[in-house]
Amino acid sequence: MLLQIHEPGETPAPHELERSQAIGIDLGTTNSVVAMVSGDHPEVLRDGSGDGLVPSVVAYVYDEPIVGKQAQAELAHHPDLVISSIKRLMGRGAADVKKLAGALPYELAPAEEGKPGDKKFGGMVRLKVGDQILSPVEISADILKALKLRAEISLGHKVEKAVITVPAYFDDAARTATKDAARLAGLEVLRLVNEPTAAALAYGLDSAAEGIYAVYDLGGGTFDISLLKLQKGVFQVLATGGDAQLGGDDFDHALAEWAMRRTGITGLTSGEAKILLQAARAAKERLTTASGAELKATVAGHDVRQSIDRGTFEILIEPLLGRTLRACRQVLEDAKLTVSEVKGVVLVGGSTRVPLVRAFVADFFKQQPLADINPDEVVAVGAALQAKALTQGSETLLLDVIPLSLGVETMGGIVERVIERNTPIPVTKAQDFTTYQDSQTGMLIHVVQGERETVDACRSLGRLELTGIPPLVAGAARIRVTYAVDADGLLTVSAEEKTTGVKAEIAVKPSYGLTDDEMADMLRDSLTYAREDMEKRLLLESRVEAERVLLALNAALKADGALLSPQERAEIDRVAQIVKELVAGDDRVRIHAAMEDLDRATHDFAQKRMDRAIQMALRGQRLDEVEAGMATDGAQ
Amino acid sequence: MAVVEKIGGAGAGATFVPCWSCKGPVASRALFCHTCGAVQAPGSTDHFTRLGMAPGFDLDDEKLEKQYLGFQRVLHPDRFAGKPAKERLIAESQAVALNEAYETLNDPLKRATYLLGLKGVNSEVTEEKTVNDPALLMEALEKREALAEAESADAIEDLMISAGTTAIQLLSDISLAFAADDLAAANRSVLRLKYLRKFLEEARLRRAALES
Ligand SMILES: [Zn+2]
């Protein structure tokens, strides 16, 4: 294959387009959706019967996991082997798992001392599924693989890149877990986009809306409320809030518990809890359109048959909706806005189909909410639009914020905030600390996330140890701790002792995410992400880098080629030609070597260009006069 | 469509650095290389210059937002789709610098603190400063007492409204002080406003606790 070099802004050749095609995935608690933009139109990828929703249910009945409707169908026969609502466990510890009247709808794997899952270690829960022990990351990866396959079948070629949405209120551990799951599924994550932001993107582009909009996103397991300002193609999140443990699932729980109280059933097994919850969900869905429904299930040797009318159901869920409104009030306060300044309210998530939810939202925001785009699909559509923007460019821009404050533990278990919630990302902040004991040579930096003042009430994200601090008197060392949050909302913490330059850095994942070793083990096990794939990626990155160097050299030669003698020019052209030829091949090591040669070959040329600029400056011709214009041009 | 106006431009220093990509000379504060078009690292400059705003406490909020969004539109890493990782990282550092500048200038209190810092006045809140200003200490104590005694959400709401009114007055005092170049007066009002903000935050927490 010959490499095609195109000027910036020129459209890439068709085969490159295909290579760079990326999908948008809404990885939901109850349902997942995959979409992509073909031509200019985003499109949800559907199954043979036209259904875009893939139930986020995985059955481990046969050798290969089954995902979606077929997995759901296995629940009645193999409740122990069917897993749903796994999203609620992403990045979570055993203590976070919601029980149904004391019964877990999952079977947790026993914790091993010193391993993730062990209480002392922290770590993510693991599930016992038949004779396998699986982490939420692996189960989510199985869902992602199914979505990837659906896209590949529909497109007729491989798909390797995706934008994946996460609840805006997801913390760092849950975001990292989601990214890990994508890696396991063989997908490169171009960006984690917050669900309400993705929905706003789809909605705003569709309706050319301008002004301040609220996105009320009540999904299966999470609730988000975001306020965005839409103007001239920029989607700026002003504030976001919510509850990462509140969703339609909780409606099911409320119904199931009500039925248990009415029938006096207690002591369910985890399989029975799943069956009862599924029956509750079916009743809830009927109550969306009907005024009454019957909850039917056979559990614990009882035939449960309970008629419920919509009024009773509404009494059961009202406290949950009250919690969503508290979050709405908080987010308005954070953005320093009042309800009257909100131009529109967009409903997202299957749970917003519940009539009482709509009534609550309309009453709170004093206007009828908008739901003209299918609330189950709008997030995936937004993800697909962003996937296109990140591969082929776009006129729109998303500016998002961090949902939860990030801090560090100080003396007495008090949290010192380093980055406040609702700070626009990407963001970097540093704070200086010192030692509190004479001759202290190490420092443990405990990174936490949350709004509460004590460490116990916040989520622990990880611990970073800085060693090798010179032994000084207490208070003499200067330790700068830097928090960097990237555009995915993921945190990296680094620490440096300023007087000696001793450094330490972690991508924050240990206590609730997977350790690097575990990830490596899983990647080894996974067929979709073999070593060759890794090599291929590195090769691609080298090619892109070489292409960049050649383009930059071309531009430099065009501008300042006159500074070179014919011999010098010939030498540069010769070495550049070698790079060009190697780029067409697939030897990454030789590409690198040739690039180093090119770097040496152009060294004098670069020197000449700088020298001439200095001379021009001495003669009074100011370079910045030319470039000030350039800078302004660029910013248009 | 000239969204962004650049005041001071690439600066009067006539300093330039080699472009990281083509190695040719670039003005030290240029956003892009004029030869190869590569985005350049943010470099160090003050927040006003970064966003192309005239330095000063009074500024046009709408213009500030317009400038910020205009720069993000061209510098945000998402705008570098398909570019090498290195270039996207440089764009990310530009976006970080823009966010920091905007966050500082968009909030009047942070803006005033920052402006005082530029003029060589450190207005960080410290213990001794409080003690040096008995009136401020008195006010803080009284407010805190009133908050501790408030027993209903409504009572707290009243305290918050009164504090909010004082805060608005302080902002106008700060503006006048900067206009008269009276930095000591500006600093006093900034300190008072900092205490007031802290008080409002505490009041919000108490109100929330009472409501739930
Ligand atoms: Zn250049």
How far from A565 is each of A561, A571, A608, B100, CA to CA, in Å?
9, 10, 12, 46
Q: Is the pLDDT of residue A628 over 50?
A: no
Does residue B188 lie within any of the structural domains? yes
Does some domain include residue A268?
no
Task: Name the minimum distance, in Å, from the CA of A393 to any CA of chain B.
Answer: 6
Residue A497 near residue A469 (C-beta atoms within 8 A): yes
Domain count, chain A: 3
Same domain assignment for residues B38 and B101? yes
Arithmetic mean of pLDDT over chain A = 84
- In this structure, are B126 and B203 located in the same domain? yes
Tell whether A491 and A417 lie within a shared domain: yes
Same domain, A218 and A339: yes
Per-residue confidence (pLDDT) for residue A514, from 0 to 100: 53
Considering the domain architecture, whether residues B203 and B139 belong to the same structural domain is answered as yes
Residue A540 has pLDDT above 90, yes or no: no
Task: Test A556 with B14 for CB contact under 8 angstroms.
Answer: no
Residue A411 lies in domain: 406-513
Instruction: Select the residue of B22, B71, B77 nearest A555 (Cβ to Cβ).
Output: B22
Residue A576 sits in a domain whose CATH number is 1.20.1270.10
Q: Which domain holds residue B43?
A: 16-106
For residues A384 and A366, give the distance between their C-alpha atoms in angstroms, rounded to a whole number.
32
Q: In angstroms, what is the span from residue A417 Cα to ligand 1's centroid?
A: 39
Nearest-Cα residue of chain A relative to residue B28: A624
Distance in Å, alpha carbon of A535 to nearest chain B alpha carbon: 16
A364: CB partners within 8 A, 6+ apart: A325, A328, A339
Contacts of A623 in chain B (CB under 8 A): 14, 16, 25, 27
* Planar angle of CA A312, A316, A317, nearest 5 degrees: 120
Q: Is A195 a catalytic residue?
A: yes
A·B CB contacts under 8 A = 173
Range from A118-122, A373-377, A437-441, B14-18 carrying the lowest mean pLDDT: A118-122
- Asked whether residue A490 falls in the same domain as residue A592, the answer is no
Last residue of a domain, one of A513, A545, A571: A513
Among B77, B106, B135, give the residue marking a domain's end: B106
Could B77 and A630 be called an inter-chain contact, meaning their C-beta atoms sit closer than 8 Å?
no
Mean pLDDT of all residues in B79-86: 85
Task: Indicate whether B111 belongs to any domain.
Answer: no
Percent with pLDDT over 70 in chain A: 86
> Do both A474 and A564 map to the same domain?
no
Average pLDDT, chain B: 86
CATH of the domain at A394: 3.30.420.40
Residue A468 vs residue A631, higher pLDDT: A468
Looking at the domain assignment, is residue A209 inside a domain?
yes
Domain-embedded: residue B154: yes
- Are B98 and B127 in the same domain? no
Contact A228, A397 (CB under 8 A): no
| A337 and A426 in a common domain | no
* Upstream peptide bond of A136 is cis (omega within 30 degrees of 0): no
Q: Report pLDDT for A7.
A: 40
Q: Which residues from A are below 8 Å from B16, CB to CB?
A: 613, 617, 623-624
- Examine residue A575 and state whether it is found in any structural domain, yes or no: yes
- Residue A150: pLDDT band (50, 70, 90) is very high
Q: Are B99 and B21 within one domain? A: yes
Same domain, yes or no: A471 and A562 = no
Q: What is the DSSP string of B134-180?
A: HHHHHHHHHHHHHHHH--SHHHHHHHHHHHHHHHHHHHHHHHHHHHT
Which of A8-22, A130-144, A287-301, B46-60 has the lowest average pLDDT? A8-22
Q: What is the CATH number of the domain that holds B138?
A: 1.20.1280.20
Please tell me which of the candidates B30, B74, B92 has its beta carbon nearest to residue A627.
B30
Choice among A195, A376, A400, A409 that is catalytic:
A195
Give distance in angstroms: CA of A11 to centre of ligand 1: 22
| Contact criterion met (CB < 8 Å) for B27 and A393 | no
Domains contained in chain B, number: 2
Is B131 found in the same domain as B74? no
Q: Tell the residue number behind the tokens 């299930």, with chain if given.
A: A297
Chain A residues with CB-CB distance to B31 below 8 A: 630-631, 634-635
User: CA nearest B17 in A: which residue?
Assistant: A610
Catalytic residue chosen out of the listed positions A142, A217, A243, A496: A217
**At which of A399, A420, A442 does a domain end?**
A399
Nearest to B71 among A424, A624, A635 (CB): A635
Tell me: do A460 and A542 sit in the same domain.
no
Tell if the CB–CB gap between B25 and A632 is shorter than 8 Å: no
Instruction: Decide if B24 and A606 are in contact by the 8 Å CB cutoff.
Output: yes
CB contact under 8 A, B81 and A545: no
Which of A376, A399, A422 corresponds to the end of one domain?
A399
Chain B interface test: which of A212, A391, A583, A623 (most B C-beta within 10 Å): A623
Tell me, yes or no, whether B94 and B132 share the same domain. Answer: no
Q: Ligand 1 mean position to A627 CA, how many Å?
A: 12
CA A94 – CA A117 distance, rounded (Å): 7
pLDDT of residue A526: 54
Three-state secondary-structure class, residue A320: helix
A198 vs A623, more confident: A198
- The token duo for A77 is 């026969």
Q: Would the pLDDT of A40 be above 50?
A: yes
In a domain, B2, yes or no: no
pLDDT single digits (tens) A59-85 = 999 989 999 999 999 988 888 899 988
Element (H, E) at A533: helix A531-560
- Judge whether A87 counts as a catalytic residue: yes
Residues A480 and A566 in one domain: no
Residues A395 and A410 occupy one common structural domain: no
**Is A450 part of a structural domain of the chain?**
yes
- Tell me whether residue B4 is in a domain: no
In angstroms, the CA A348 to CA A356 distance is: 15
Per-residue burial over A444-457, b if 16 or more Cβ lie within 10 Å, else e, is ebbbbbbbeeebee
Nearest to A486 among B4, B5, B92 (CB): B92
Asked whether residue A287 is assigned to any structural domain, the reply reads no
Chain B residue with minimum CA distance to A19:
B82
Q: Ligand 1 centroid vs B36 CA: distance in angstroms? A: 4
Question: A interface mutation test: which of B17, B21, B22, B156 has the most A CBs within 10 A?
Answer: B22
- Residue A622 has a pLDDT of 52
What is the complex's ipTM, to 2 decimals?
Answer: 0.87
Please give the residue of chain A at the shortest CA–CA distance from B71.
A635
pLDDT digits (tens, 9 = 90+) for A96-122: 776 666 666 777 876 554 454 444 444
- CB–CB of A197/A326 below 8 Å? no
Is A324 found in the same domain as A450? Answer: no
In chain A, what residues touch B85 (CB-CB under 8 Å)? 541, 544-545
CATH number at residue B60: 1.10.287.110
Q: Could you give the CA distance from residue B42 to residue B20 in angstroms, rounded to a whole number?
A: 12
Inside any domain, residue B112: no
Q: What residues are paired with B113 via a beta bridge?
A: none
Contact call for A636 and B21, based on CB within 8 A: no
| For residue A6, pLDDT beyond 50 | no
Q: Which residues of B touch A234 (CB under 8 A)?
A: 69, 72-73
Is residue B5, in this structure, part of any structural domain at all? Answer: no
Residue A600's φ and ψ, nearest 5 degrees, are -65, -40
Contact across the interface for A632 and B82, Cβ inside 8 Å: no
Asked if residue B80 belongs to a domain, the reply is yes
Going by C-beta distance under 8 Å and a sequence separation of 6 or more, which residues neighbour residue A349? A217, A218, A219, A220, A247, A248, A375, A376
In three-state secondary structure terms, A175 is helix
Task: Identify whether residues B101 and B125 lie together within a single domain.
Answer: no
Would you say residue A538 lies in a domain? yes
Render pLDDT for B168-179 as a digit per residue (tens, 0 to 9). Answer: 999 999 999 999
Same-domain pairing of A57 and A178: yes
pLDDT digits (tens, 9 = 90+) for B106-132: 999 999 999 999 998 887 665 555 556
| Mean pLDDT, residues A380-392 | 94
For A239-276, what is each residue's pLDDT tens digit? Answer: 999 987 889 989 999 999 999 888 888 878 888 888 89
In a domain, A333, yes or no: yes
A505 with A374, same domain: the answer is no
d(CA A581, CA A561): 22
pLDDT of residue A626: 44
Residues B102 and B125 in one domain: no
Q: If you average pLDDT over residues A26-55, what whole number do you get?
A: 92
Is a pLDDT exceeding 90 seen at residue A471? no
Q: Based on the domain organization, do B33 and B86 belong to the same domain? A: yes
Contacts of A389 in chain B (CB under 8 A): 78, 81
Q: Is residue A289 part of a domain?
A: no
- pLDDT, tens digit, 9 for 90 and up, residues B132-174: 677 777 888 888 888 888 888 888 889 999 999 999 999 999 9
A487–B35 C-beta distance less than 8 A: no
All residues of chain B having their beta carbon less than 8 Å from the beta carbon of residue A232 are 69
Would residue A217 show up in a list of annotated catalytic residues for this protein?
yes
Distance from the A494 Cα atom to the nearest Cα atom in chain B, whole angstroms? 16
Same domain, B94 and B159: no
Interface touch A555/B36, C-beta < 8 Å: yes
Q: Is the pLDDT of residue B67 over 90?
A: yes
Identify the pLDDT of residue B175.
97
Distance A551 CA to ligand 1 centre (A): 10
